[in-house]
Amino acid sequence: MAFPALTFVAVFSLYPAMDSFLLSLYSDFPGPERSFVGFGHYAELLHDPVAHQAFIVTLGFVLLSTTLELLMGTGIALVVHERFRGRGWVRAAVLIPWAIPTVVASQMWRFLLNDQYGAINAILFGDRVNAYVPWLADPWTAFGAVVLADVWKTSSFTGLLVLAGLQVIPEETYDAARVDGATAWQRFRHVTLPLLKPALLTALLFRTIDAFRVFDLVFVMTQGGPGDATQVIQFYGYKTLFTEGRVGYGTTISVTVFVAMAILSLFYVRTVGSKVLQREPA
Amino acid sequence: MNGFHAVFSIASSSPLRRLSPWAVGLFAASLLSNVPFAHCRDFGTARGSSPTLVSSPVTLHFVTWKADHPRVWDEAIQRFEQVHPHIHIKREIAPHSSTAYHDLLTQKLRNRDGSLDLFFMDVIWPAEFATAGWALPLDDYFLPSEREKFLPATIASGMYRHHIYGVPSRIDGGMLYYRKALLEKYGFSPPSTWHELVHQAQAILEGERTTNPLLRGYSGQFKQYEGLVCDMLEFVGSHNGSFLTDDGRRSNLTAPESLQAVQFVREQIIQRLATPAALTYQESESLAVFLQGNAVFHRNWPYAWGLANDPQYSKIVGKVGVTTLPRFSEGKSTAALGGWLYGISAYSRHPAEAWTFIEFMASPEMQKHFAVHASLAPSRLALYADPEVLHANPQYKDLLSVFQTAQPRPRTPVYPIVSHVLQRYFSRVLAFPETDIREEAQEADRKINRFLALLRDL
Amino acid sequence: MIHRPVLLGGILLAVLGSLCPFLWFVLTSFKSQIQVEAIPPTWWPDGSLVFYASALFEHRLLHYVRNSVTVAGGTTVIALVVATPAAYALARLRLPGKTWILGGLLCVAMFPPIVIAGPVWQILERLGGLNTHWGLVLPYVSLTLPLAVWILTTFFHELPVELEEAARIDGCTTWQALYKIMLPLAAPGLFTAAILTFIYAWNEFFFALLILTNPERQTLPVGIALFQGEFIMPWGEIAAASVIATLPLIILVLLFQRGIIDGLSSGAVKK
Amino acid sequence: MAGLELQHIEKTFGRTRVLHDVSFEVDDGKFIVLLGPSGCGKSTLLRIIAGLEPQTRGSVSFGGQCVDDVPPPDRDVAMVFQHYALYPHLTVRENLAFGLKMRREPKPVIEARIAETAALLEIHDLLDRKPKELSGGQQQRVAMGRAIVRKPKLFLFDEPLSNLDARLRASMRVELKKLHQRLGTTMVYVTHDQSEAMTLGHAIVVMNHGKIQQIGRPEQIYHEPANPFVAGFIGNPPMNLFEGSYRLDQRQLEFLVGDLTFGFPFQAHELIGADTGTATLGVRPEDVTFGPQGPGHVAITGTIDLVENLGNDSIVHMMVKGESLMARTSFGFRQHAGESITIYVKNFHLFINDNRIPLPSP
C-alpha cells in the first residue's frame, strides 16, 4: 500500500539527492572533462572562510529563530487554548502570517523596514524623519530583521503544534495540581511544560529543519548583505550552484547541510518519534 | 574552450571509466536523465547548414524579463510577427534581476533545453556563455560591416576570444543626476571631480538643513548585489584603478589607486553624504530617495531620466540635470557599462529564424521605437543624431561620450565568482567601518586569483 | 486558568502582532503611487484602487490565482491519495523497521530544494513536464508526502484496530475498511494533512520559478515576484496582489481553524 | 455435526509461540467459553477463528468445511469486541445496517432485520443516535445487536462484558444466555471471568500459556479439575493448594506437607509411576464444614487469622502448622481471629505430575 508513496519519494527526492551527491564528487574546473575528486570538495569546504561564516550565521539564525518561535508559539497556544468569546476569530487571525507566501511576506518586511517610508520607522519615530533607522544597512539589525520576519511568519505554525499538545493534557491533571496548591506559574512549570514536551520537541524538529533551509527570506530581503552578515548556508549554496555554476562545490554545501540535519532528525526520531509510534494501539 | 564546455555540461561519459564496475551501474542509472537527447546535439552542431524552408511556421522561445514598458515590447513583437508571419515568438518571463535571470537561464542551458532559442544576455555574461558553449557564435550572421554601426563598447561586450556572441539591444552606462535648481541656487556648476561633489553636497546640506532635514548629499547603489560592483567600478576606475590587471590574469584590488578609491567611498560618500542606508539600496530605492527630492546627487542608468520627469513618480520634474560621473583629480571619468545583448542558444533548432528576429529587433527602426517610447539608450551610433530620438531624450546629446567610453566589468568566464568575491569585499568594507581595507582586499585578491589561475590552462 | 488581564493582554498582543504588519500592506494597497513612498509615511490611504486595477488587469492576477488553485489543489488531492494508504500500512504494519521508514521519510522532507532542483528539472524534461501544471504537481507531491504520511500515520495509530477488524468481519475488504470506516474517522487528520499540503504548494516559489517559465502557467508567488520591473519596485501592486492572494487562504483558515487544530491534536478520537 | 472444529492450531509471533497444538470441536448450536488468564492466547485463538489472524499451523473448519483460505468477510461469523468497536461516525441504525449492506442485502430485508434486532435488544429508542451519545451498557447492546442482525453461522465474543460495571455485567450475562437459547447459534466466548464462563458455557476450554488445560462441562471443570492450574483458577475463593510429597505403599497413599500427613486408601497403583515424589493436594474452601464431623471427613485444627464477612457467608483464613488455608462458612460464624478452630474436610483433590489422581471418598 505504501508503494505509490515510496515510488514518488524515490523518483523525485531520493534519486535527485543521490544524483546530487555523485555530482559533489566531481570537479568544477578545469580540464577536458569533469574529473572525479572524491571528497575533495568536502575538504575544501572545511577550509572555506565564507562557508564557515555562513554556517555560523545559519546556526545563529536557527538558534535564535527557533527559540523565539517556540516561546512565541507557546504563548500564542496558551492564549488561544483558553475559552473566551471570539476565540475562533483570534485563532484565525493568528494563523494569517503562516498563510502568506514567504516570498510575499519577505517583500512585506523589506517594505516595513524601509529606511524612509517604512512603517516600523514611522511607528517608532513618527515625524522625526532624521531619526529613521536603515534597519537592513547595519549587519546586526539586518540579521535581526531576517529573524524577525521568520519569527513573525512561523510562530503561529509552532503555536498550532503546541496547541495540539495542550489539548491532549487532561483537565484532571490541572485540577490535581490545583488541589495540591500550585500557583498558575507552578502549574505551568511543573504540569503543562513536562506534558508539552513531545509537542514542543516535534515543533522544534520541524522548525529546525526549516530554519536550516532558510532561503527565500534572505534572497528577497538582503541578498546576504550587508557584508555577508545575513548570508546563510543555503543562500551561499544557491549562489555557488546556480549563479557561479560550480555544480560540484554547490551540491557539496547542500549535501553537507542535509547530512547535518539528517543526523539531527534521526536522533530525534530515535528518542521521541519511536515513543510516539511504537506504542501499540489498545 | 571545448574543455570548459564539458565543465559546465553535466553529461559526460568519461567519469564512468574511472568508477569501479559496481558503481558504474548506479551511476549509469543516474546518468539516464542527464544525457541530452541526441538530436539536441545534432541541431547544435548542424546550425546554419540546413536552412529551414521559409514557408514552414516556426515558434521561437524567447527568454526575457517583464519589461518596465510592456506595451512597447508587445508592439515591437507584433510588428515582427506581421513582417514575418511564419515566425511566432513565444516569450518566457524570468525575474528581472540580472542575477535571478542569469540563474534561471543558465539552468535551462546547462540542461541543454532544446526548446529555448533566444535570450537576453547581460553584458557581463558572454565570456561565461561562450566558454560553456551555450551561446551560438554569431560571426556568420553579425558581420563586421554591420558591427561598425554600433557603439564600440557594446560590440566589445558581446565579443569573447575573437568571436561575437551577442547583438547589443541598447546601452547602459552610469551617469550622475543632480538637482539643477538646487545647484544653481548655491552657484555651483555640475562637479567634475569627486572631491568637488563632496564639497558642493556639503555646502548644500549645510544650507538646506532647516528646509529639508532629510536631504542627503548622494544616493547610489551599495547593497550587496551586482549593482555594487558597477558603482564601485566607477569610483575605482576614475582613480586609475582597476579590478583586474590589464592582461586580465590577476586581481588588482590591492593597488594603491584602488584602495584609496574604496577608502574614499567609505569615508566620504557613505559616512558623510549617503548615510549607511545606501547599503540597502538597489536602483529603485536609491532613485526613490532622489525622486522624493531627498538627494542632491544621484548615480543611475539612463532610464532614470524618464521617471525623474514623470509627475506620477517624481517631485522634482524639470529640476533635474544629468552629466558624466565625476573623476578623481588624477583620473578620468568612468561609467560602468551595462545593457543587454540578444543571444541565440547553441541548442536552438531554429538559429536562422532566431537571427531574423534579432536582426529585426536590433534594426535602427526598432531601436528608435524603444528609445522614443521606453527611454532605452540605443546601441546604434547613428541614432544619437536622429531628431526624433533626441527630441524624446535631449540629454543623449551630452551623454554620448559616456556611452562611447563606458567601462566594462571584468571579462572572464568565471565572472559570477569574481563578482561574488567583489560584492563581499566591497560590502564588508563599507558595512564594517572598522575593517582594514587592505586586508580585505588581499583576501579578495587571493580568492579571485585562485579562480583565474584555474582558467589559465584553457 | 490564566488571569483575566494577562489573558486579555496576550490576546491583544497575539492578534496585533499577527495582523498589524499585514494591515500595513493592506493600507498600502489602497494608496496612490506617490503616497506609497512618501516620507514620513502617511497612515491613511486615499482609497485609490489603481493598484488593484493594475494587479488584476495589467498583471492578470486572477489568472495566476487560477493556476495556483489548480496546482495546489492537484497536489493536495494526489498527495492525500498516495499518502493515505502508505500511512495506513505504516500504522498497521507489525514491521520492527517502520520507525526507520518514517524516519527516512522525514529525512526526505529535509532535502534542501536546491539540491534536488537540477535532477528534478531533467526528469521533468524527459517526461515533457516542463511548463505544465502536472510537472509541478509531481515534485510537490513528493516533497509534501513525508509530512502528510507522518501526520496520517500518527493519526491512524490512534484509531483502534478493533474498528477495522469489526469492518472486516462485517464483510469489508481491506480497501473498503479503509475508505468506509478508517477514512471518515481520520477526517481531522486528513484535513490537517490537506491544509499543510495546500499551503505548501500555494506558497512554494523555487520550483515554480524553475519549472514554469511560460507566463500562461505560472503560479501566484512567481507571478507576484515577476511584478518587479527592471528598475521599478511596484510596492503598491505587490501589496494589492498579496491581499488578493492571501484572501482565499484566510477564508480557508477561518472556515477550518477548528478542523486544523483538532487534526493536529490527534487524540481527538475518543476510544 | 461439528459447528466448529480446530485441529492442531499453532501460532507464533516472531520467536514467541503463543498457541501450542490447540484442537477441539464445538457441536452446532453450542455455547463454548474460552477461559484463561490474560495473555494465555485465548483472544488470539478467537481471532484465528474469525480469520483476522492467520494460524501458523493447523486448520479451522466450520460445519465440516475447512475455512483456512477464507477471508474474514466470507466466513459468515459475527464478532463482539471488548471495546465494542462501534463505528463512531455512523448512527446506531447505520452501525447495524453496515454488515448487511456490505453483503448487499436488499433494503427491505435490512430494515426488517434491524427492527427485529432492535426489538429483541430493546434498543429501538437508540437507533438514530451516534455511539458517543450512548452509555456503556447501551453501547454494549448495540455491539451485540450488530452481531445478531447479521444472523451469522457463528458468534464470536471477545470479553464483551469486561468494560461494564459489576451489576450490569451480571444482568447482561443472563440476557446473553437467554439470547443464545433463543437463537440457537454456535457461540464462542472469550473471557477471563470464571463466573461468566460457568453461567454461560455448555463447555469451557481452560487455557494457559497457549495450551489447553482442560475441556469440559462447567461442573466437570469445577469438580474434577484436570491439573493444579485449573484447580487454582476455577473457584472463588480459589482452591487451597499444598505443595508436598507423597508416599505410596500397599494399603494407602500418604501425602505429606510440613508436619501434616494425610492418608488416602488407594488401589489404582498403575496410575502413579513411582512410589514417592512430589504432589499437590487441593482443598476447596467450600468443601469444608465446621462440624459436626461426618463419615470420611478429615479433621484439621489451626488458628484463625482473619475472618472475611461476605454477608451471607464468611471466609475464614487460618493457619495450620505453618500452612495457610481458607475455608468458607455459612452465615452466623461467630469465632474471632486468634482463636483455635477445628475444621472437617469433606473432599480432597490430588495431583501428581500435574495430573489429577482420582481419589475415592475417604
pLDDT of B63 > 50? The answer is: yes
pLDDT of D216 > 50? The answer is: yes
CATH number at residue B390: 3.40.190.10
Question: Which of the residues C169, C174, C180, C262 would you substitute to probe the D interface, choosing the one with the greatest number of D C-beta atoms within 10 Å?
Answer: C169
D52–C168 CB contact, under 8 Å? yes
Q: Of B415, D27, C27, nearest to A119 (Cα)?
A: C27
Any chain A CB within 8 A of the CB of B4?
yes
Closest residue in C to D13 (Cα–Cα): C94
What is the C-alpha to C-alpha distance for residues C262 and C259, in angstroms, rounded to an integer? 5
pLDDT at B225 (0 to 100)? 92
How far from A225 is each of A133, A138, B235, B414, CA to CA, in Å? 17, 9, 20, 21
Alpha helices (H) in chain C, listed in sequence order? 4-29, 33-36, 50-53, 61-92, 98-110, 113-127, 133-158, 161-169, 174-176, 183-185, 187-203, 206-211, 220-225, 235-264
* CA–CA–CA angle B433, B438, B444 (5° rounding): 100
Q: Say whether both B395 and B366 belong to one domain.
A: yes
**Beta strand pairing call for B163-164 and B58-65:** unpaired
Question: What nine digits make up the cell of A88?
Answer: 475562533
b/e per residue B267-283 (b: at least 16 CB within 10 A): ebbbeebbbbbbbbbbb
Domain A34-275 -> CATH class: mainly alpha
Q: What is the pLDDT of residues B317-363, one digit of tens each?
A: 999 999 999 999 989 999 999 999 999 999 999 999 999 999 999 99
Verify cis geometry, omega within 30 degrees of 0, for the bond prior to D292. yes
Q: Say whether both B104 and B161 belong to one domain.
A: yes
All structural domains of chain A with their residue ranges: 34-275
What is the C-alpha to C-alpha distance for residues B331 and B323, in angstroms, rounded to an integer? 17
- Which chains reach chain C with 3 or more Cβ–Cβ distances below 8 angstroms? A, B, D
Q: Are the beta carbons of A182 and C1 closer than 8 angstroms?
A: no
A116–B110 CB contact, under 8 Å? no
**ipTM of the complex as predicted:** 0.76
What is the C-alpha to C-alpha distance for residues C136 and C144, in angstroms, rounded to an integer? 12
Question: What nine digits make up the cell of C234?
Answer: 511596484
Percent residues over pLDDT 70 in chain A = 93
Q: Are the beta carbons of C88 and C80 closer than 8 angstroms?
A: no
D85–C160 CB contact, under 8 Å? yes
Look at A190 and A134; give whichever has higher pLDDT: A134
List residues bridging with D356 in a β-sheet.
Answer: D351
If one counts every other C-beta atom within 10 angstroms of the C-beta of residue B404, the result is 15
Q: Are the beta carbons of D324 and D333 closer than 8 angstroms?
A: no
pLDDT at D292 (0 to 100)? 80
pLDDT of A171 > 90? The answer is: no
Edge-to-edge strand list for the sheet holding D16-27? D16-27, D2-13, D57-62, D65-66
A137–B431 CB contact, under 8 Å? yes
**Beta strand pairing call for B216-219 and B295-300:** parallel
D285-346: CATH architecture: Beta Barrel (2.40)
**Beta strand pairing call for B163-164 and D154-158:** unpaired
pLDDT at D360 (0 to 100)? 67
A33–B292 CB contact, under 8 Å? no
pLDDT at B49 (0 to 100)? 40
Question: Which of the residues A19, A26, A90, A104 would you substitute to probe the C interface, choosing the one with the greatest number of C C-beta atoms within 10 Å?
Answer: A104
Question: What nine digits make up the cell of B253?
Answer: 584590488
Q: Are the beta carbons of A142 and A136 closer than 8 angstroms?
A: yes
Q: Within a domain: residue B203?
A: yes
Please count the residue pairs, one from chain A and one from chain C, whose beta carbons lie less than 8 angstroms apart: 286
pLDDT at C209 (0 to 100)? 84
Q: What is the pLDDT of residues B190-242, one digit of tens each?
A: 999 999 999 999 999 999 988 888 899 999 999 999 999 999 999 999 999 99
Q: Of B137, B143, B174, B141, nearest to B159 (Cα)?
A: B137
What confidence tier does B457 reach under pLDDT thresholds 50, 70, 90? low
pLDDT of D102 > 70? The answer is: yes
Element (H or E) spanning D327, and its range? Answer: strand D323-330
Q: Of B65, B112, B109, B70, nearest to B91 (Cα)?
A: B65
Question: What nine digits make up the cell of B285?
Answer: 530605492
Look at B147 and A37; give whichever has higher pLDDT: B147
Question: What nine digits make up the cell of D16?
Answer: 514467541
pLDDT at A37 (0 to 100)? 84
Q: Are the beta carbons of B149 and B380 closer than 8 angstroms?
A: yes
Closest residue in A to C238 (Cα–Cα): A104
Q: Which of C88, C111, C261 lies at the smallest CB-CB distance from A164?
A: C261
What confidence tier does B3 reach under pLDDT thresholds 50, 70, 90? very low
3-state SS, one letter per residue, for B267-292? HHHHHHHHCHHHHHCCHHHHHHHHHC
In which domain, by residue range, is B374 found? 2-11+44-171+341-405
- Phi/psi for C213 (5° steps) reads -110, -10
Q: Within a domain: residue B36?
A: no
Element (H or E) spanning D344, and its range? Answer: strand D340-345
Any chain B CB within 8 A of the CB of A15?
yes
Percent residues over pLDDT 90 in chain A = 26
What is the C-alpha to C-alpha distance for residues C132 and A202, in angstroms, rounded to an integer? 35
pLDDT at B35 (0 to 100)? 34
What confidence tier does D264 reach under pLDDT thresholds 50, 70, 90? confident
How far from C98 is each of C94, C149, C156, C159, D118, CA to CA, in Å? 8, 12, 14, 18, 44
Q: Say whether both B93 and B49 belong to one domain.
A: yes
pLDDT of C34 > 80? The answer is: no
What is the C-alpha to C-alpha distance for residues A120 and A130, in angstroms, rounded to an integer? 14
Stated length of chain A = 282
Q: What is the pLDDT of residues B358-416, one digit of tens each?
A: 999 999 999 999 999 888 899 999 999 999 999 988 888 888 988 988 999 999 989 99
* CATH number assigned to the domain with residue range D2-232, chosen from the 4 options 3.40.190.290, 3.40.50.970, 3.40.50.300, 1.20.1740.10: 3.40.50.300
What is the C-alpha to C-alpha distance for residues D315 and D329, in angstroms, rounded to an integer? 6
Which amino acid does the sequence have at A81?
A: H
Interface of D with C in 130-159 (CB under 8 A): 132, 146, 150
User: Is there an interface between D and B (3+ Cβ pairs < 8 A)?
Assistant: no
Q: Say whether both B50 and B155 belong to one domain.
A: yes
Average pLDDT for residues C57-70, to the nearest whole number?
Answer: 88
Q: Of B50, B58, B95, nearest to B80 (Cα)?
A: B58
Q: Within a domain: residue B54?
A: yes
Q: Of A177, A205, A181, nearest to A193 (Cα)?
A: A177
What confidence tier does B270 reach under pLDDT thresholds 50, 70, 90? very high
What is the C-alpha to C-alpha distance for residues D49 and D11, in angstroms, rounded to an integer? 12
Q: What is the pLDDT of residues B116-128, one digit of tens each?
A: 999 999 999 999 9
- Look at the block and give the residue holding cell 496546482: C71
pLDDT at C262 (0 to 100)? 62
Any chain A CB within 8 A of the CB of C94?
no
Number of domains in chain B: 2
Pick from B48-52, C37-41, D126-130: least confident:
B48-52
B33–C123 CB contact, under 8 Å? yes
Look at C133 and B1; give whichever has higher pLDDT: C133
pLDDT at C95 (0 to 100)? 65
pLDDT of A68 > 90? The answer is: yes
DSSP one-letter code for B385: G
Which amino acid does the sequence have at A212?
A: F
pLDDT at C259 (0 to 100)? 66
Q: Of D354, B132, D352, nearest to A246 (Cα)?
A: B132
- Residue A47 in 3-state DSSP? coil
If one counts every other C-beta atom within 10 angstroms of the C-beta of residue A14, the result is 18
pLDDT at C154 (0 to 100)? 77
Pick from A26-40, A97-111, D30-44, D91-105: least confident:
A26-40
Question: Which of the residues B68, B103, B280 would you substitute to probe the C interface, choosing the one with the greatest number of C C-beta atoms within 10 Å?
Answer: B68
Edge-to-edge strand list for the sheet holding B320-323? B216-219, B295-300, B175-179, B320-323
What is the C-alpha to C-alpha distance for residues C262 and C269, in angstroms, rounded to an integer? 9
Looking at mean pLDDT, say which of B328-342, C105-119, D341-355 comes out highest.
B328-342
Q: What is the pLDDT of residues D279-323, one digit of tens each?
A: 999 999 998 888 788 887 888 889 999 998 888 888 999 998 888
- Residue C73 in 3-state DSSP? helix
Domains along the sequence of chain C with CATH: 1-48 (no CATH), 49-268 (1.10.3720.10)
Question: Over chain B, what is the mean pLDDT?
Answer: 85
Question: Over chain A, what is the mean pLDDT?
Answer: 84
Closest residue in A to C19 (Cα–Cα): A93
What confidence tier does B55 reach under pLDDT thresholds 50, 70, 90? low
- Residue D313 in 3-state DSSP? strand
What confidence tier does B58 reach under pLDDT thresholds 50, 70, 90? very high
3-state SS, one letter per residue, for B201-252? HHHHHHHHCCCCCCCEEEECCCCCCHHHHHHHHHHHHCCCCCCECCCCCCEC
pLDDT of B36 > 60? The answer is: no
What is the C-alpha to C-alpha distance for residues A34 and B15, in angstroms, rounded to an integer? 7
- Residue C42 in 3-state DSSP? coil
pLDDT at A272 (0 to 100)? 62
Pick from B72-81, C34-43, D118-127: least confident:
C34-43
pTM exceeds 0.90: no
Alpha helices (H) in C159-230, listed in sequence order? 161-169, 174-176, 183-185, 187-203, 206-211, 220-225
What confidence tier does B418 reach under pLDDT thresholds 50, 70, 90? very high
Q: Say whether both B208 and B318 belong to one domain.
A: yes
Distance from CA of D179 to the nearest CA of C (A): 20
Q: What is the pLDDT of residues A146-165, one digit of tens each?
A: 999 999 999 988 888 788 77
pLDDT at A81 (0 to 100)? 86
What is the C-alpha to C-alpha distance for residues B137 and B189, in angstroms, rounded to an integer? 46
What confidence tier does C245 reach under pLDDT thresholds 50, 70, 90? confident
Residues in B touching C128 (Cβ below 8 Å): none
User: What is the dihedral angle through the alpha carbons of D266, D269, D273, D277, rounded to the nearest 10 degrees?
Assistant: 20
If one counts every other C-beta atom within 10 angstroms of the C-beta of residue B206, the result is 9
- Look at the block and give the residue holding cell 493592506: C26
Pick from A49-63, A213-227, B420-434: least confident:
A213-227
pLDDT of B268 > 80? The answer is: yes
**Beta strand pairing call for D323-330 and D313-320:** antiparallel
Which amino acid does the sequence have at D8?
A: H
pLDDT at B7 (0 to 100)? 30
Percent residues over pLDDT 90 in chain C = 14
pLDDT at C264 (0 to 100)? 58
Q: Which residues of C touch B (CB under 8 A)?
A: 33-34, 37-39, 58, 117-119, 121-123, 125-126, 130, 209-210, 213-215, 218, 225-233
Look at A84 and B52; give whichever has higher pLDDT: A84
Alpha helices (H) in B95-149, listed in sequence order? 98-110, 126-132, 144-147
Q: Are the beta carbons of B427 and B224 closer than 8 angstroms?
A: yes
pLDDT at B41 (0 to 100)? 33
Residues in D touching C166 (Cβ below 8 Å): 79, 81, 85, 87, 146
pLDDT at B16 (0 to 100)? 31
What confidence tier does C2 reach under pLDDT thresholds 50, 70, 90? low
Q: Of B73, B129, B81, nearest to C215 (Cα)?
A: B73
- Residue D6 in 3-state DSSP? strand
pLDDT at B8 (0 to 100)? 31
Q: Say whether both B247 and B211 belong to one domain.
A: yes
Distance from CA of A214 to the nearest CA of B (A): 17
Looking at mean pLDDT, say which of B200-209, B306-315, D94-103, D309-318 comes out highest.
B200-209
User: What is the dihedral angle through the alpha carbons of A182, A188, A192, A196, rounded to the nearest 10 degrees?
Assistant: -160
What is the C-alpha to C-alpha distance for residues A30 and A191, in angstroms, rounded to an integer? 62
Q: Within a domain: residue B231?
A: yes
Average pLDDT for residues B136-155, to the nearest whole number?
Answer: 94
pLDDT at C126 (0 to 100)? 85
Q: Are the beta carbons of A116 and A132 closer than 8 angstroms?
A: yes
